[in-house]
A and B are shown apart, each in its own frame.
Chain A
Amino acid sequence: MSDNRVIVVGGGLAGLAASVRIAESGVPVDLFSMVPVKRSHSVCAQGGINACNEIARQQGYSEYEHFDETIYGGDFLADQHPVLEMANWAPKIIDLLDRMGVPFNRTHEGFRDLRLFGGSLFKRTHFAGATTGQQLLYALDEQTRRYETEGKVTKYEFWEFLWPITHEGRCVGIVAQDMRTMQIRAFRASAVVMATGGCGLVFGKSTNSVICTGGAASRCYQAGAAYGNPEMVQVHPTAIPGADKLRLMSESARGEGGRVWVPRKKGDTRNPVDIPEEERWYFLEERYPAYGNIVPRDIATREIFDVCVNEGMGVDGQNQVYLDLTHRDPDYLTVKLGGILDIYEKFVGVDPRFTPMKIFPAVHYSMGGLWTDYTPGDYNPDAPKPGHKSGSPIPVDAQKGHGLTIGATNNMMTSIPGLYAFGEVNFAYHGANRLGANALLSCIFDGLCNGVSVVNYIKDVKEEAPQGVFDEAVRSEQAKHDKLVASTSGGTGDKAYNPYQIAKELGDEMTAASTVVKTGPRLEQAIAKIGELMQRFGKVELGDAASWTNQSLSFTRATGDMLKIADAILRAGLLREESRGAHFRKDFPERDDSRFFKTSVARYNPETGKSDIEFVPVKAPLVEPRARTYGKSDTKKETKETAAAAS
């Protein structure tokens, strides 16, 4: 394996954790990213990262509980074995980040501080102010820079991944383009890790960064990789409405006591601070007495949507509700939430320490992504090890059994051998709804745990693919590129073929048809609309023919790829005739386990240019589905204790 190299595409948390782990084992890594890795989208993450910890443990929490919450939160659609392993690793991952120097907030005595987050009644979220993602990304960026100076990691920043190269069914490299010189080149590797993040921009405006188009994942999908649960897209309940971006107000605002409310009187125009307590409707607290404001995201989002859209109770008659922190001490808020409160103040011009914020839901996270495989470990609840009772929530740890077979070469491998998917770009961990502060964890876990799988895989890879394979791949990408450049001249000038216009219509349509509330007829209409946009995209006219740093070209290419993903999202959403997690079908409002305790698997059909969807049973569940109510008051009266026991 002396000249075996690994390519990692993406330098967010998942890509950097993978790079460090793989480089550490002595395998050289070529790391590709469209932006300097320190600027990857992971930098935006605010609230924190979950892990069982000693305090929670003494209150009855455990890794198993973390696992179970994640499965329940995801409405039983996640792959359970990887989630179990992730929960088991979580405390060790926090320790490692701590060793790397992440400035986690501290208690008086100097221990790591903890906060409450959605979907749990235990404090199990570790945080560094309200810029946790930034701090974690920097720690991994620093470690990567260290390996870079030692020559073990070679960075290709401002390089865009264009296509995976396969030979005899295995992935043997990639085609990429230098975003400055526009040079298109092939790179060889024994394995390729995709860590390219989510696809929020398919919905136009979202909480995501400007490069989160999902273009890279879409290209793998078009090259034959299966895509799991595309319809599962998380809409975050609390974002600041904005012209260009919907800036997130992290769930940590609610974790730190933020209360969501609207005036009881429709169209009440008083200043919110002048509205007395009894004239405020704290609808989440009223409807979910146990979890209150920290119900999971899909539920909070639907309730806010319901209050604004169905009941017309939004603040100032618009689609917005108050997120109120003004009852907390301003200095406390600065230490715990300074980063996000500054964002609000900067972009809205109002200080949320003294005036309630106005927020509304926004597209945030894709639970779906490239389909990935795994080899289960020896943990089996039906054949318990000593000291381990079957069927009851007992802590599990490495001694009591593994969720995954560590180092198995197929862990988080896509349906294309040698092509892996780590982080938000895969589909494995979050099912139909992601719990807050679990994404950062899954990204780092993938890199650290499944990085070992990549190292093991390449040990057996011997064959050298012939040069012709790489030349052909470059030719094919060059041809697509040249076709786009050629479209700048002799066009119609018709706005219908303007790439920005097509992207805008795509975003508007997806937001209208496939976010908080979906229906069959509306999804069908959207599928037709995407078909029309695909046709128009076939004749797209680029505004810039430059052969140097052509950003319009990159954006236009990604727009075409977003249309393909959008088609998969809509078709899977149409066929999933049930409601589960983030996927709410008004025409099928109940979860239907008999038909849909299944992963939707999308495969690209090169003949039609569309998506073929298949439903595959969720693999070997460790816990069986149960009703997911979070103790809603009008479904079932529950006290805090019984809700805790049920979760």
Chain B
Amino acid sequence: MSSTEALREHEAQERKANRARAKAGRSVIFKIIRCDGPGKPSRWESFKVPVEPGSNVISCLKWIAANPVTIDGKQTTPPVWDSGCLEEVCGACTMVINGKVRQSCSCLIDEYAPLEGDTITLEPMSKFPVVRDLWVDRARLFNALKRVKAWVPIDSTYAQGAGPKESPEHQQTRYRLSECMSCGCCLEACPQYNIEEDESKWDESFIGAHAISQARLFNEHETGKRLKGERLEELSDKGGVGDCGNAQNCVKVCPKHIPLTESIGAMGRATTIHAIASFFTGKK
């Protein structure tokens, strides 16, 4: 068992134990970072929320939005957050919960705050500019997908027969990589991924584990391979795979269990081979 798997197993056991001792009919305290907009100061606000069976962080936020009164009785505005599917597949609802980045929709209160008066803290991700409260702007995450040309360059959408045949093993490899939902957990946890003051620098700074893994996904596809050289050029450049410090924080927090370190390793080797090949062929 890898250290990542061991960690995940340990966390799962802990959550299970909490669930087993969760008290029915309790209230928990939500401590939330509030911020009215970019450049505005932030503040903490606390709310006391009654927990229903099966409650998660989003359902509690909804309750707060409908009853926006802090624990000291102060009327406030409904908190703002991002969400979509509520089943951990759209990637919208990433937050820092009790100091750790994760999806909030799948964060069950029973697993995190099993007893009366337990506290849950909610903070926005720190690697993206805050829009308001818990909502951040992840445009730079999607821009990274443009940088690595994360698509298959098909001729057109007109009927031209089937795609390439593929073994089930190869399909499983691609499928695992293709489950990345652009949530940003891997970026929040990465010590090399930083938010510079100067926005124009973002596209040169470290591209992030998710995009490296997407480059691998498309390099693995028969037609996708046609852009392999361009992807590897991008990953060899400033902010590419060479900037990864191999801290492996990313893979520990990925909610989709994407084999990120495997992808980083594969792309690291591929860029090296690509560089040597370009050197000998004189092509860059």
Contacts and interface: CB of A to CB of B under 8 A. Distances in A.
B151 A549 contact: no
A285 interface: no
B87 A44 contact: yes
A92 B157 CA distance: 10
Contacts of A170: none
Contacts of B36: 546, 548
Nearest to A498: B66
Contacts of B77: 543-544, 546, 552
B86 A343 contact: no
Contacts of B152: 99-101, 139, 142
B171 A105 contact: yes
Contacts of B162: 95, 98-99
B244 interface: no
A103 B58 CA distance: 31
B164 to A, nearest CB: 8
A209 to B, nearest CB: 5
B62 A244 contact: yes
Contacts of B150: 142, 145
A522 to B, nearest CB: 27
Interface stretch (B89-97, B118-126, B200-208): B89-97
A549 B153 contact: no
Interface in B93-148: 106, 108, 131-132, 135, 137-138, 142, 145-146
B275 interface: no
Interface string A328-350: 00000001000100010011010
B47 interface: no
A357 interface: no
B218 A149 contact: no
Interface in A574-624: none
Contacts of A146: 149, 151, 153
B19 interface: yes
B255 to A, nearest CB: 10
Nearest to A210: B83
B87 A38 contact: no
A47 to B, nearest CB: 14
Interface stretch (A128-136, A266-274, A361-369, A463-471): A128-136
B41 interface: no
A106 B167 contact: yes
Contact of B88 (A36, A95, A101, A343): A343
Nearest to A146: B151
Given A38-B142, A347-B108, A44 B171 contact: no
A43 B165 contact: no
Contact of B154 (A100, A149, A551): A100
Nearest to A92: B159
A210 B86 contact: yes
A97 B213 CA distance: 21
A343 B87 contact: yes
Interface in A191-227: 209-211
Contacts of A143: 151, 154, 157
B151 A95 contact: no
Interface residues of A, number: 67
B245 interface: no
B41 to A, nearest CB: 14
A21 interface: yes
A242 interface: yes
Interface in B168-220: 168, 170-172, 174-175, 178-179, 181-182, 218
A551 B160 CA distance: 45
A20 B155 CA distance: 12
A512 B168 CA distance: 46
A415 to B, nearest CB: 28
Given A41-B85, A347-B54, A110 B167 contact: yes
B70 interface: no
Contact of B175 (A98, A111, A128): A128
A243 interface: yes
A148 interface: yes
B80 interface: yes
A484 to B, nearest CB: 14
Interface string A10-37: 0000000100110010000000000110
A44 B89 contact: yes
A209 B84 contact: yes
Interface string A130-158: 01001100110011011011000000000
Interface string A236-261: 00000011110100000000000000
A209 B59 contact: no
B72 interface: no
Contacts of B78: 543-544, 551-552
B161 A95 contact: yes
B89 A131 contact: yes
Contact of B151 (A113, A142, A501): A142
B163 interface: yes
Contacts of B156: 24
Contact of B86 (A101, A131, A244, A339): A244
Given A36-B142, A244-B56, A347-B108, A24 B157 contact: yes
B84 A101 contact: no
Interface in A465-507: 498, 500-501
Contacts of B132: 180, 546, 548-549
A175 B178 CA distance: 35
Given A39-B84, A98-B163, A138 B178 contact: yes
A462 interface: no
A107 interface: yes
B86 A247 contact: yes
A96 interface: yes
A108 interface: yes
B242 interface: no
A105 B86 CA distance: 25
A533 interface: no
A92 B151 CA distance: 20
B262 to A, nearest CB: 17
Contacts of B145: 142, 145
Interface string A496-529: 0010110000000000000000000000000000
Given A143-B154, A549-B131, A35 B37 contact: no
Interface string A102-132: 0111111011010000000000000011010
Given A35-B90, A107-B168, 5 more contacts: A96-B159, A244-B56, A347-B87, A548-B132, A549-B37
Nearest 4 interchain pairs by C-beta: A98-B163, A142-B151, A244-B59, A500-B66
8 contacts: A36-B142, A100-B154, A101-B224, A107-B168, A142-B145, A210-B86, A247-B87, A549-B37
